[in-house]
């Protein structure tokens, strides 16, 4: 097929432009982790042109939905190309297990409820056989209506880059893509943190036993719970006994004078040292109060 018949890329006004004007796209660990899947394919010029498309605003729309991202990308034809990137959604049973584990570890619940996605979350989900990110290109269903049969094409690559910046702005979009919206996830965490009995009634089974804590969670797990009254009483005490005061080093009283260089003539020269030495000796003989 002769691609020259389609002419040059049609310019777009009001398209979605990547915030990064040069260099790498993606600011946070989760967006860079996602782009690593695309860039590992080594698709050469299509990757470069896709990044250019993203920065020129050729992507007209981008929608993240459970299991699929859809986009409209303007190319050389009059009609924009329709792009979709699909990924497997976690089942309801898998999400129930994830939510129980997250609710059982305060560090993850606190950070998620504060709007943050901790890096340890990827490791935790991997331990539940629910990888947060696609592990290979085979984990993605990619489609574009353009005539280029190569996958991914530059239109798909542009969608990837805009999607990475979408993840930068709202990391919960990653979880939404896997099948759980921000509101639904946080509501479930609040419910489960509020009482395990209600959580058991909703799922119909006992809460899953959480895996061993990782990262910051492992450090916090080692801290024993202390009653508030005891914590207040011990607030001003050192966590460990202070070492005994070392013995005073026995030195000659004029040690400092001997360490300093001889003053210049304007300050009295060597005569100043001779006059100060009796004073230092006298200070040394003064008994402590």
**Interval 235-274: pLDDT, tens:** 666 655 655 555 555 567 766 666 667 777 777 777 777 7
**Interval 161-185: pLDDT, tens:** 999 999 988 989 999 999 999 999 9
User: How far is the first Cα of the chain from the last one, in angstroms, to the nearest whole number?
Assistant: 100
Average pLDDT, the chain: 78
- Decide if pLDDT at 232 tops 50: yes
**In whole angstroms, what is the distance from residue 76 CA to residue 9 CA?**
4
Most confident of 34-38, 76-80, 283-287: 76-80
Band of pLDDT at residue 228, cut at 50, 70 and 90: low
């Amino acid at each position: 097929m002769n691609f020259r018949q389609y002419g040059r890329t049609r310019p777009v006004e009001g398209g979605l432009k990547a915030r990064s004007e040069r260099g790498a796209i993606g600011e946070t660990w989760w967006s860079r982790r996602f782009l690593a899947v695309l860039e590992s394919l080594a698709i050469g010029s299509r990757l470069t042109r896709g990044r250019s498309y993203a920065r020129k605003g050729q992507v007209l729309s981008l929608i993240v939905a459970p299991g699929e991202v859809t986009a409209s990308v303007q190319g050389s034809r009059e009609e924009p190309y329709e792009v979709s990137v699909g990924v497997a959604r976690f089942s309801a049973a898998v999400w129930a297990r994830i939510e129980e584990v997250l609710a059982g570890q305060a560090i993850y619940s606190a950070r998620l409820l504060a709007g943050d996605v901790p890096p340890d979350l990827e490791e935790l989900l991997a331990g539940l056989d629910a990888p947060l990110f696609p592990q290979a290109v085979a984990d993605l269903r990619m489609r574009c209506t353009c005539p280029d049969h190569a996958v991914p094409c530059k239109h798909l690559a542009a969608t990837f880059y805009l999607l990475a910046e979408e993840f930068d702005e709202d990391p919960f979009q990653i979880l939404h893509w896997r099948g759980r919206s921000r509101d639904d996830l946080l509501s479930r965490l609040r419910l489960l943190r509020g009482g395990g009995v209600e959580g058991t009634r909703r799922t119909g089974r006992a809460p899953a036993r959480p895996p061993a804590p990782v990262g910051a969670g492992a450090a916090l797990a080692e801290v024993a719970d202390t009653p508030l009254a005891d914590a207040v009483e011990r607030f001003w005490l050192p966590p460990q006994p202070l070492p005994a005061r070392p013995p005073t080093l026995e030195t000659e009283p004029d040690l400092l004078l001997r360490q300093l260089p001889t003053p210049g003539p304007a300050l009295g020269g060597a005569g100043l040292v001779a006059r100060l030495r009796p004073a230092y000796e006298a200070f040394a003989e003064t008994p402590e109060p």
